[in-house]
Structure formats: C-alpha cells, structure tokens
A and B are shown apart, each in its own frame.
Chain A
C-alpha cells in the first residue's frame, strides 16, 4: 500500500493509502451517504466523471455480484472510502470489491477522514478533485493538475455513457406496452421495473430522432437519468418538446426530469453539494405523504412550488418537493401526459417507496392508448 492523496481544487489535501488501481484520476468530488449499495453506486452511469466519497465507513463487506450491477462497468472516476473490507462475506458475492476496482482500473483511496472531506464539500460545495497514488508529485504540482480539469457546470457527458445501438428489454409476462427509453445513462433497474409491469422497453441512444421514436409506435417515452449539466442537453430538450407535441406519455427520472423541465421552459441550476443518498424525504404535495427516496443529483430545476404554472404545453404543477431543502423533486403537466421526478423510483440502491411512479406511468399510458 503506497501513500495516496485526495487533492481538492481549493488546495485542501487529505492523505491516505492507495486502494484499487494506483495512478491518478480526476473528477468532481461528491459524497454519497447511503449505508448500503456501493456496487449500484459504482455502476451507475450518472456518476461518470465524479469521484465519489462514501460516508459509510466500511465499504466492500459484501463484495460484488453480477445481479446487482446497474450497468456493464464501473463509472465513477475515483472511489474514496474510510475502511475497505479485506474479506467478503455474502452468499451472492462473486468477487471482492478491490479486485473489481482493479479490473476496471478504478483508482481509489482509503484511510482518509471521509467525514472531514464530507464536511468540507458540504460547506464549500462540490469541486474538482484528483486522487494521486504511487506518484512522485509535490503538493503544489498535484493542485495545479487538479485545477486544469473541466468543471461539471457546462459538462456534456451523455455521449460517453449512452448506448451506441438500440436494444430491447423484453416484457416479463404478457407484453402490454411498448416504451422508448432514451438512454442518457440509464440504470438497469429502470427497464427492469418497467419490464416487470409488462412493458417492452426499447432502449435508444441519446441522439435518437423523433422519427426513430415514432417508428416504434411507443405507448410512452421514458427519459433516463444521466451525468452532466442539463443545460448542455439542447438537442434532447428539443426532442422532448417534439414528443410533448405528439402527446405521447412521458416519464422522466433525474436528468430526464431536468430535461423535461427545461423543455417546459424552466431553468436548471447547480446545487452546492447535491443530493446523493438513499434517505431523502420527499413530500407529495397533493397527498401529503412522504416518501423516503434515493437521490443522485448535482443540479436541480427552478420551478414555482406554491402554485400551478402554465407552459406552452398547458398547465402544470410541481408535485414533489424535498423536505430537507425545498428543492423541486417532481412535476407534472395537467393538460398533457407527462411527469417526472428528480429522484429514483427504481431505487437500486435505496428504498422502494417511490416504485408506485412506474405504475403511474402505466396508468398514463393505459389512459392514452391501450394495446
């Protein structure tokens, strides 16, 4: 184990020990507060170009297995933990976490004060970071390198994570609906949640055209989660507007929610340190019920939460807000079939409280055009 350094762009440096692959890596430093689900986090494409700090102190205890992967590879740019496990204990485990990180060439760091890092990011906001291990660089040199990388604001990253070819996730049981899912960094749990409800999911590349979508004659269009700044998604936003005009039911999650919001004319903005965890309370403004939800977002939508709003696509309303900080967490159109949430009803990792939203999507599609 060699020395390793976690170097923030404001000059703060934490010293730890190397873990996973060695070398150097860069990204946006974010913290994730889930106590379970590190494997899902690692394989979530939304974490592309982010160096993830896990606040849970023991990581890797249950190893990794194929079934829990959210995509075919590890996406995080770097992985920061307090105590990695040196033994894997779980009946489903197929590999140790460190072996998996090395196989994916993911540079990690361990034995750092992850709580101090988290407090730093909380107070000063997410920022650029580098992890350096096994290298002979001075502190100044490392900081200089970190300051050279691009910031997350303005980053267009979807092309890196989206599928290049369309593929189909077949419905489980009887096929009742066809959904076109725009892959902006989709997690495996989403098509699975739809498939379980009798949906045949056509996962499409991010740059698909409206013609390619309508050719499928889908009952609905799903806009996935994904990495980067929603403001850069100009073409996708345009595409969503076309779908809206065709009155095909739309369901957006996370990045997809931000894109739907922008398509309706709202702005998005960068949160100081984002929401990344699986314990986030969100209230449904119409029913007053609280859902404990899985979050992973650094940007949020600016929309009026106190009353209905009107858009060129008709009236709409914010349906869900965060109880922690009042952030917009969900919206729906009242005159057209479209809704979206900022959080993750597919969970993985996280609680299943919001799984009903997939049923809402099914209802919306049923009303519109039964098979």
Chain B
C-alpha cells in the first residue's frame, strides 16, 4: 500500500549537538528524512538544536525549530504545529529518548499524535535488556549470561555468579556511554557506579565476558507487510571488547561461510519480527566464538544508527531515506532503488568491493585520558575507504585519517622491538593495527599475534601480504611495471612507495604516470554490476576498466573535510554541501571528493558525482585527471572543507590545478606570521605583541618585554595544540621544560595575552572589491578560551556602533591585503578601547552555519559563487545575498560548545578535568534563539549541559583573579533565592561584598571532626544543583579538579569562567519569570 493518507504533517526529531557516539550521521539521516517527507507532500516540522546541520537549513522543513530537544519544548511545538505523527527513529538515541519521554508523559496521547517508525513497545523490547534477552531466547538465540542490576548491591551479588572479568552496560545510553569491562572489584565499583548514574532508568547489565570473540553487525529493514531485508553485514576487525564505533570494521563480513552467515541472518529476521520494528531499520550485533562458532546476540538498536550511515555509504542503499518511506506507509517493493532505477528496494545489496572504516580519535586533546579502547566509545570521527581488495581499502582508509602515525611504514627492525610490540598490542589502543603490522614486519607469526589480540588470522595474513609487497618494493632495481602495478593494487600510496625506495613522492608519481599506471574508477551500485547504475558514486582501484562517463557541462570539484575531528567537524561539511547545492543551482556540475561516511556531502544525491576517496594530494590529483578526461573541469574549491583541503591547495596548484577562490598564495599569506604581521602593519592594524623563543631565557626575556600573562605554544602545531596561558616566570619555565622538543628550528611562540579582553569572531565575504559582513559574534568566555569552545552571541551585545564600524573596516583591509576571494574569518579582541587582530583564516570557518542560521544568509553558497567569479553585487541581485547592507541577526542567537568530559577517564579510573583553555576540546555545538540574551543562553545550556536550575543550591569557588568579576553574578544568584555554598576564601570574599554563603570544606581539608562533609562529598550526595568553579591556573589542582569531575560524573551543570557565570545568572533570571518560547526559523527569518 502506498502513502498513508492520514499523515499530512510529521514532526521529525533531530539528534542535537555532535557528541561522541552521535555525530553527523544523524544529520545525514535526518536530512534524507526531511527530503523524503517533503517530496511526498507532507508538511515537515523539525526540531533540532544543532545549527551546523544541513537538516536545520530553512529550506529542508516547513517549520524548523532550533530548540532544545526536551519534552517541554517539543510539547510546545506539538501544541502549536499539531502534527499527525512524530518520526524519532532517525535522530539517534537523543530523538528516541525524547519520543519515549513524550509518550510516558502522555503528551502524544494528549495531542493525538502517533509515533511512526517504531512504537514505544517495540523500542522498549529492543532496548530493555531483560525484554530483549527474552526475545532472543524465544527465537532460539543465545545471549551472554548476565544479571540486571539496579543498585550496587545487585552488582556485587551478580559478579559472584559471573566472575571477573565482567562487562557492564548501562541501559538507554548511547555510544556505550558508561559501559566498560571490570577485571576486579575496584574497577567494578567505578564503572558500575557511573553506569547506574548515566542510565536514565538506573539500570546496568552485568555480562559474562566474551572479549576476543569475532564481532558482527547486520543492518536490517522491515516494512509493514513483514518483508525484511539485510542491507549489509559488517565485521569488526577488533574483536569483542572494543566498542564498534572505535573498531576498524569491514563490509561485507569476510570470514563467515554461507552457513554461518545465514544463521546470523535468520536470527536477525526473527529478532526484528519479534521486537516488532514495523517500519524502518535497525541493527543487530553478534559475537561469534572463533573456536567453535557459538553465536551470542549482543544487542539491537531499534532505530537508524551510526552503523546505518556507514552501511548506506558502503552499499549505496539509503537506509534513512527508505526507513522514512516505510514509516509513512510504503512497503519495500514499492520503493525504487535510486541507483539502478529498474529494481525495487526489496532486495539485499551485494558488494563487489571491500569497505573499511577506521575511527579517528582525539586522545592528544585529553592528555590525562586513559588511551585504552573499551566498550565506551571514544572516537570522534571516522573515515571510510572502498577498494577492490581488503588491503587496498585498508591502506586508503588509513591514509584518509590524515594522521602520520596511522599509515603503515617499514623501518629497520630494532632488537627487542618484537617483544615490546607483542605485549603492547595485547591491549587495544588507537594504533593497535599499526603495532600488528610492525610486529609482523619484525617477524612475528600470525599465530603469535592472534594469541595476543584475537584479530582474525585472515586479516593478519592480509597485513602480512602488505608487508611482503613492501619488502619487494624496497628491493634494489628498477620500479618495474609489474611491481608498481601490484603495489598500487595492494593500496600503497606513492608516498609509501617513495619512502620504501628512498626517492621523492613526485618521482614515484612521474614514473607511474610514465608507465601509464593510473587508477580506474568503479561504481558503488548495490548489485555487483548485475544492473546498470545511474548514480555516479565512484571509488578508485588499479584495474582495467573505468566507469567514469563523459560529461559536457563544466564541472567544479569540491574537496570535503575528511574524518570529523575536534576542530574540524560537521560545520565544514555543511559549507561543502552548500557549495554543491549553490553551484548545481547555477548550472555547473559538482564533483565531491570526501572520505567521511557520516556526512551529507557523501550522500550520492548531494553532488552530480561523488568520489569516495582519501583527501591526499595523490588521490585528489588522480580524480582530477580522470574528470579532466571526462569533460571540462573549471577548478577545485578548497576553502570550504577546513584545514584538510586548504592544506592540499598549494600542492594542487603546483601540479597545474586551478584553485577557485582565494589563491594558495593568499592562504599562505594569512597563515605565515611574518607576512601577515606585515599586512597588519601596512594597514595600520594592531596585533598583540609577540616573539619567538628557542630557549627558556629567550622566552622569559620576551615575556618580560611584552608583559604577563602570555600565551605560549610550540610553533609547529596547529589548532591550539599544546597552547597555554602563563601568568609568571615560573609557569613559563615549567612550560618550556615540558615542551622538550623546542629547538631553534621549532621555537616557542610567545604572544601577549589580552587578559579579560572581549573576543570577537567575524565571518565575511569578499569579492575583490566589496565586503559583505556576515556576522560579528561576541564570545561569552573571554579571550584565551579557544573560540571553538567558547559560547558566543550574535548580534554582539557590548560592542558599540563605532567599534562595529572599526571591525568592518579592519576586516575589509585584511581581506584586501590578503587577497581573499570568498570567505574569511577573523578573530579580534577588544581590550580597553583597542581592537586587536588575533588571527585571520581565509576560508569557511566553524561559525559559518551558525551565522547563516542566525541571519538567514547562506554564506557558503555565496562564497562558492564568488569563487567562480560572481560579484557580491550580482549575488545581491540574485537574492543569494540581501539586496543591501550586511548580515543582520534576527533575534538573539547564542552558540554554545558541547564538551565530551564524561567520555574520558584517567588510567586510575577517575574523570579527566573539565576546564576550558586555548586548546579546543568540544565536539559540537548547539544554538539557542529567542528575543533576548538570557533566554537564548538558557536554551543553549539546556541542550549542551542540562537545564540551568531555577532554584536550589549552588556551589561557588572562584580563583583569586576571578573574584572581582564573579561577585556581581554571585549577588545575582543570592537575590534569585539560591542557597550558596562556597569554599572558605570565596565565602569570605562574598561576605565582604554582602553576599551570604555557607562555607564548606575543601576536599583537601578532609571530612570534618563532626562529620562535616567536603564539597566533593556534598556534590556526590546530589545536593548541589549548579557548580561554579574557575580554575586557578594550569595543571591539576587537586581540589578544583575533583570538584569538576564530580560534577561531570553526576551530570550537574558546571561553569568554569566568570563570563559564563554572568551569562548563566541572566539565563536563570529569565527562567524564573518566564516560560521558554518557541518560534520556527522560518518565522525568525521572514
């Protein structure tokens, strides 16, 4: 039966900010859902607090609510919009949890709205472990032996039965949050304790350990008529014990016979039927004992998941799109396969290639964090690669990560290396596979490695074969046709071959091109070529036949941003997607190159052609070559995908490729400190004083000259890595001592730090003569907190009209001086009355989507057009930019960063410190929009950190430098009726300024003689509603750290800057007297 006519309007719930375990795959799925619904003529109402998503672009829904995903906000939306149905299976665990809450609060019933996709009972059967185990048993499957626990006493009893090691899994959390493996009672206490708190139902499952078993995942879809298909099988190279999100995974499964695969398939069918997911997708995870094939069903997600996005990209079967169609009434056989056009969606994709996904981690950002991989997901992104063999796909995937350490190398084997490697690889960490490769290179046998890490011998053999190829390449003699062909076919990059041969990469490429060894491009077609494919979704391989079709329309190649990482996430994908849409609309063909399976940019619908390829110079040059043979190519856009494509621009240009928009020379001008400094001098602009030091003495001399505090950082890293603010000589000396690799070649940069300055972020467009100011954002945290981690507000709140004018002028001068064609982002600071330029990036910034949402101006679209020669005046004429003037914010929009503190622990099991600094640590962002700052800020906090309390007890501990700036906010809280607890020094200061507080003991004071609890004990007992704790300086000052980690563990909102404190008080003041309002973006922008 086709479309259900009773569904005329659907509320789609998004997944909120990007967090570990829930990333932009849900923008991909949600965007598909919105598109499908609108194509069917259904009115789409969307709620999502994440401004960096494509789905929240106003044209993707009829009413887009950038509001917190809470039952309160959603009830207001439902009351206002009166949708017929709610679709919550495409917004990750966040959306699913929200839907369950709406159901339990009776909100769905009250407004007569039904859930489509999966009903609450089915969700429960899938997610409630006891119910799910019963289902597995009913269909004849086996679950790991386990015990459900609701208290620590239950936990202790349970372990008596199961023994150590034991796996702990909290219920209803996403990305395995709070789960882990305990080998002893102490670990059990930590992990299970946290798990009980993280679980919204205070429920954890203790489970027999099946660590080391083979791990599989099947993506399943079912329609109303009970037709079921398996979209994809995924095998984890990392066996059980490492979260799937942190595992290297392969599709399709490589080491199962048909008999065994069909057992998994049958179980999947029986389970989805019994759970009763009627219309949509789910995934089911299995463990298989490598010794005897015993199968254990691990769990299911009754919704579209991270793996669904991967499976969609891996197979070409658009799970989210089809799940949406199923939810509104279609059956699988009524839906066409977009790729073949002739065949229906009721089939199972078959692959004639191998897909490898590798996770990308960010441990370097969390120096204290335990680097071991466990059942709690810790990776922040992933790259996927496709090849016609496993080794080709693996090698491409590893270079897609853009990490030197991830790429296989073959150095001389050192004496005791083998034993070290064998013991290291027994513990799963970020680079385990590289350790495996090195151990094999050092002579380990497959049996030895299997014994140590349980990675299936088939994969070990594949890696051994790669090493055998490497040994052949390294042999003296000519790089023959056959040798080179085989090496390329095995996935070796030109750079790897160059390293093995001791010659430059360019030389390898020259020889290879001379021999005419070039990749061909195959097509992802869902059907292993059984039917003709109409969708140009390509990947490279070194084979005979290429499937790239000739073209006549001029094409533009857009380079995406690669795997998500902290500092380069969905915001950049957003800009790339916008460029593709804008250029298609302007009559160009667009060609996307990217390797991130989570994104909208790698949806085969987004661009005219998609190349799923690593973003390295070699891989990109080959695509350009192939496309140049296919038809006219105008050039490459590198300014929208963040640092990744920007880093390729110079190399591409050197190889004769046209870079559209801002030139590589201009990019270099902005990045090179000396040259950029000269531009500022020429234009009469200020920058904080700085110097470069290659010794402690030099550093102290510079610091003395420019005055403390100073911002110090190694000169050879980007993105705020290793940056610190130091306030005196001894702290500076400490930094220099720690940064051991400082040499005259790698000096330390010492910048004057503008204490208590206001930081400003500007996004602007420049076409060579006219400047369009997209937005001037004022940071809430003062300068010194990385702009990506700082909340900001648009329009700016405290900047005068004259200062705005000065900012625009300075922006124009810099854009002109650098030679920008397209977007530029500039960070300014205002200290006293002086405007300082901190840095300029002639590219799309992280804030482009936020500014675009707040002002209704699609900056990235305009930038793409400017790159191709349109002027701002022309774009104004076309309506892409406002007819006159600059970007004007509608309402007050606050952007807040979301931080992953709760994901990481130290090796001792305690939390990592939750302090902000010059190094970016946030994974995502949320937006709050309303008529006034207090309300917008309150909205942003709800989604980022949990709601601000309207009343209760607040604990305040301010560092001496922050006491003066925090007093007003503290007084504000007192006047709002909060009970204030404070440590002694803060309490005294508050009393001196007329604010009454109760003095409590620091942790270091210990429990008092009368049993008076310390602040940490009070936080742990749950008696605190808000924590204000500003750090004293760098380093783990035990008291502050314990307070902050205790708050994070208990999910209590914590504020670590006085600026944030002031903003929070404004938010609370609003909340006490008002209800939060809702208003769709379309109305804001109208």
Residues of A participating in the B interface, judged by any CB pair closer than 8 Å: 14, 31, 33-37, 39-40, 55-58, 61-62, 65, 67-68, 82-83, 85-87, 89-92, 112-116, 118-119, 122, 277-281, 283, 288-290, 292, 323-325, 347-353
Not counting A33-B352, A39-B257, A324-B343, a sample of 12 additional A-B residue pairs whose C-beta atoms are within 8 angstroms of each other reads A31-B530, A34-B350, A57-B389, A65-B257, A82-B389, A89-B458, A91-B292, A114-B352, A119-B529, A323-B347, A349-B258, A351-B262
Q: CA A56 – CA B390 in complex, angstroms? A: 12
21 intermolecular pairs with C-beta atoms under 8 Å apart: A33-B352, A56-B252, A58-B254, A58-B389, A61-B254, A61-B458, A89-B456, A90-B255, A91-B293, A92-B293, A113-B543, A113-B544, A114-B352, A115-B543, A122-B531, A277-B350, A281-B347, A292-B347, A323-B347, A349-B258, A350-B258
Residues of chain B from 546 to 590 with CB closer than 8 A to chain A in the complex: 547
Cα A82 to Cα B529 in complex, Å, equals 15
Alpha-carbon distance A86/B466, docked complex (angstroms) = 13
Residue of A nearest to B388 (CB): A57
B711 CB-CB contact with A under 8 Å: no
Cα–Cα, bound, A39→B342 (Å)? 31
Instruction: Find out whether the CB atom of A33 lies under 8 angstroms from the CB atom of B530.
Output: yes
B20 interfacial by beta-carbon distance below 8 Å: no
Q: How far, in whole Å, are A348 and B342 apart by their CA atoms in the complex?
A: 27
A350-B259 Cα distance, complex, nearest whole Å: 8
Residues of A within 8 A of B531 (CB): 122, 324
In angstroms, Cα B974 to Cα A283, docked, is: 71
Q: Is the CB of B257 within 8 A of A323?
A: no
Q: Are A324 and B342 in contact (CB under 8 A)?
A: yes
Contact at A323–B350, with CB atoms within 8 Å? no
B457 touches A87 (CB 8 A): yes
- B352 with A115: CB separation less than 8 A: yes
Q: How far is the CA of A347 from the CA of B266 in the complex (A)?
A: 12
Contact B388–A115 (Cβ < 8 Å): yes
Q: Which of A91, A122, A277, A351 contacts B265 (CB 8 A)?
A: A351
The minimal Cβ–Cβ distance linking A5 to chain B, given in whole angstroms, is: 13
**What 10 A-B pairs are tightest by C-beta distance, nearest first?**
A37-B258, A116-B545, A87-B461, A349-B258, A55-B528, A89-B458, A279-B348, A36-B258, A113-B544, A55-B352
User: What A residues does B173 contact at CB under 8 A?
Assistant: none
Question: Cβ of B344 and Cβ of A277 under 8 Å apart?
Answer: no
Q: Is B368 an interface residue (CB 8 A)?
A: no
In the bound complex, what is the Cα–Cα distance between A87 and B465 (angstroms)? 10
Instruction: Determine whether the beta carbon of B254 is less than 8 Å from that of A40.
Output: no
In the bound complex, residues from chain B placing their C-beta under 8 Å from that of A58 are 254, 354, 389-390
**CB pair B226 A55 closer than 8 Å:** no
Chain A, residue nearest B389 (CB): A83
Chain B residues within an 8 Å CB radius of A325? 342
CB <8 Å contact, A68 and B257: yes
Which residue on A lies nearest to B450, using beta carbons?
A89
> Bound state CA distance, A86 and B460, in angstroms?
11
Tell me which residues across on chain A come within 8 A of B527, comparing CB atoms: 33, 279
- The complex places the Cα of A199 from the Cα of B293 at a distance, in Å, of 29
Which chain B positions have C-beta within 8 A of A122? 529-532
| A292 / chain B contacts, CB cutoff of 8 Å | 229-230, 346-348
User: A352: which of B254, B262, B351, B529 is its contact (CB, 8 Å)?
Assistant: B262
B residues near A35, Cβ cutoff 8 Å: 233, 252-253, 350-351
Q: Kindly provide the distance from the CB of A6 to the nearest chain B CB, expressed in whole angstroms.
A: 11
Asked if B346 and A290 make an inter-chain contact with CB atoms under 8 angstroms apart, the answer reads yes
Verify if B722 is at the interface (C-beta below 8 Å from A).
no
Note all chain B residues with C-beta closer than 8 A to A289. 225-227
Closest residue on chain A to residue B526 by CB atoms? A279
Contact with A along B500-541 (1 / 0, CB 8 A): 000000000000000000000010000111111000000000
- For the complex, is B1086 an interface residue (Cβ under 8 Å from A)? no
Residue of A nearest to B545 (CB): A116
Assess the B333–A323 pair: CB atoms within 8 A.
yes
> Nearest residue in A to B227 (C-beta to C-beta)?
A290
Measured CB to CB, the residues of B under 8 A from A are 225-227, 229-230, 233, 252-259, 261-262, 265-266, 269, 290-293, 331-333, 342-344, 346-354, 388-390, 446, 456-458, 461, 465, 522, 527-532, 543-545, 547
Interface of A is mostly: loop
Report the bound CA distance from A36 to B257 in whole Å: 6
**Which residues does chain B contribute within 8 Å of A348, judged by CB atoms?**
258-259
User: Which residue of chain A has its CB nearest to the CB of B544?
Assistant: A113
Assess the B344–A347 pair: CB atoms within 8 A: no
With a CB–CB cut-off of 8 A, which chain B residues contact A113?
A: 543-545
A273-B1000 Cα distance, complex, nearest whole Å: 81
Closest B residue to A39 by beta carbon equals: B257
A68 touches B258 (CB 8 A): yes
Which residue on B lies nearest to A276, using beta carbons?
B530
Q: Is the CB of A56 within 8 A of B389?
A: no
Nearest chain A residue, comparing its CB with the CB of B527: A33
Instruction: Please give me the residue from chain A that is nearest to B1 by CB atom.
Output: A288
- Of all chain B residues, which has the CB nearest A279? B348
CA distance A67 to B346 in the complex (A): 31
Could you tell me if B388 and A82 are in contact, using CB atoms closer than 8 angstroms?
yes
CB distance from A289 to the nearest CB of B (A): 6
Assuming A91-B291, A91-B293, A279-B348, is B529 touching A55 (CB within 8 A)? yes
Please pick, from B261, B344, B458, B461, the residue contacting A36 in the complex, using a CB distance under 8 A: B261
- Looking at the complex, which one of B353, B528, B543 makes contact with A33 (CB distance below 8 Å)? B528
B619 to chain A minimum Cβ distance, whole angstroms, is 20
**Complex Cα distance A303/B528, Å?**
29
B458 in contact with A85 (CB, 8 Å): yes
Query: Bound state CA distance, A58 and B250, in angstroms?
Result: 12
Min CB gap B101→A, angstroms: 35
Report yes or no: A118 in contact with B544, Cβ–Cβ below 8 A: no
Complex interface: chain A residues within 8 A of B342 (CB): 324-325
User: In angstroms, how far is the closest chain A Cβ from the Cβ of B358?
Assistant: 19
Inter-chain contacts of A89 with B (CB < 8 A): 255, 456-458, 461
Nearest B residue to A348 via CB reads: B258
C-alpha spacing A91/B214, complex, angstroms: 12
* Complex: A299 Cα to B704 Cα, angstroms: 89
User: Cβ of A115: which chain B residues have Cβ within 8 Å of it?
Assistant: 352, 388, 522, 528-529, 543, 545
Q: Which of A90, A118, A352 contacts B352 (CB 8 A)?
A: A118
B residues in contact with A62, CB < 8 Å: 255-257
**In the assembled complex, how far is the CB of residue A83 from the closest CB belonging to chain B, in whole angstroms?**
5
Complex CA gap A281/B255 in Å reads: 25
Given contacts A14-B544, A55-B352, A292-B348, contact A87 B528 (CB under 8 A): no
Q: In the complex, what's the smallest C-beta–C-beta distance from A263 to chain B, in angstroms?
A: 30
When C-beta atoms are compared, the residue in chain A nearest to B462 turns out to be A87
Listed residue (B255, B259, B290, B457) with the most chain A CB atoms within 10 angstroms of its CB: B259
Q: Which of A34, A85, A279 has its CB near the most chain B CB atoms (within 10 A)?
A: A279
A359 to B803, CA, bound (A): 83
The answer to whether A347 and B529 touch across the interface, beta carbons within 8 angstroms, is: no
Provide the residues of chain B in CB contact with A86, threshold 8 Å. 461, 465
| Interface-centre pick from B261, B344, B457 (highest chain A CB count, 10 A) | B261
Q: Is the CB of A280 within 8 A of B255?
A: no
Residues A61 and B255 in contact in the complex (CB < 8 Å), given A115-B529, A118-B528: yes
Give the Cβ gap from B900 to chain A, nearest Cβ, in Å: 36
Question: Cβ of B291 and Cβ of A279 under 8 Å apart?
Answer: no
From known contacts A35-B351, A324-B342, infer whether A118 and B226 are also in contact, taking CB-CB under 8 Å. Answer: no
Among A31, A82, A112, A115, chain B packs the most CB atoms within 10 A around the CB of A115
Tell me the complex Cα distance, A89–B343, Å. 35
Complex interface: chain A residues within 8 A of B353 (CB): 57
Bound CA–CA A283/B230 (angstroms): 17
Measured between alpha carbons, how far is A277 from B529 in the docked complex, in Å?
A: 12
A96 to B501 alpha-carbon distance, docked (Å): 35
Residue of chain A at shortest CB distance from B351: A35
A238-B528 Cα distance, complex, nearest whole Å: 39
A64 to chain B, nearest CB (A): 9
Which residues on the A side are within 8 Å of B390 (C-beta)?
58, 83
- In the complex, what residue of chain A is closest to B457 when comparing beta carbons? A89
